Amino acid sequence: MRRQWSRADSGAGVSLAIADQVTGQAIGSIVLMLRPQPGVVGFGYWVIPSMRGRGIATRAVMLASAWALDVAGIERVEAWVEPDNRASQRVLAAAGFAQEGVLRSFLAFPGRRADAVVFSRIRNGPGVSSLARPPSR
Ligand SMILES: CC(C)(COP(=O)(O)OP(=O)(O)OC[C@H]1O[C@@H](n2cnc3c(N)ncnc32)[C@H](O)[C@@H]1OP(=O)(O)O)[C@@H](O)C(=O)NCCC(=O)NCCS
């Protein structure tokens, strides 16, 4: 929690809780991190296992990207996703992100590296209908 809260203070980005609309209980998180490139923000997000598959991440990504692009003055929001994370890729496609390509051996995890599929939405970019279709399951 301390690490999440410190992001806004340090200027690194913003960590938000995803809350249940009725109970207000925290059921996930969405993090917007400033990239080194001006006007670019990267997204990371998760939803607790018992609440997955209900469109929660899709709605959170839609709301946060609309806020970033339409209110916060960000020009590009992007996400880096592992190739086998189909659920996350479907979330981004449903939220109007375009799939741009694959950065090989881009992500570093303890003891392993992975490719990253790059997705983005840009300010005044094309709407959902004109973007690539979500990957099939
Ligand atoms: C990825 C994650 C955030 C999705 O959260 P969620 O609230 O369940 O997402 P949604 O309900 O909005 O949408 C999930 C989509 O993935 C699909 N999906 C779920 N599991 C899947 C799987 N194993 N294979 C393919 N698609 C899958 C769902 O059917 C849905 O797509 P659809 O609406 O086209 O049917 C959640 O699974 C999670 O927290 N995973 C662990 C952390 C993570 O991977 N974060 C993203 C890092 S880039």
Where are the extended beta strands (E) located within 40-97?
A: 40-47, 76-81
Query: Which among 73, 78, 79, 15 is positioned nearest to 39, based on CA atoms?
Result: 73
CATH assignment at residue 68: 3.40.630.30
Distance 54 CA to ligand 1 centre (A): 9
Residue 33 within any structural domain of the chain: yes
pLDDT of residue 47: 98
Cβ atoms < 10 Å from Cβ of 43: 27
How far apart (Å, rounded) are the C-alpha atoms in residues 125 and 59?
19
pTM value? 0.91
Mutational test site, ligand 1, from 45, 59, 90, max ligand atoms within 8 Å of CB = 90
Q: Model confidence over 49-101: pLDDT tens digits?
A: 999 999 999 999 999 999 999 999 999 999 999 999 999 999 999 999 999 99
Q: Is the pLDDT of residue 4 over 90?
A: no
> Which whole number is the average pLDDT over 101-127?
94
- Percentage of the chain surpassing pLDDT 70? 92
Residue 135 within any structural domain of the chain: no
The tally of domains found in the chain comes to 1
Mean pLDDT computed over every residue of the chain: 92
Cβ atoms < 10 Å from Cβ of 104: 9
Single-letter residue type at 28: G
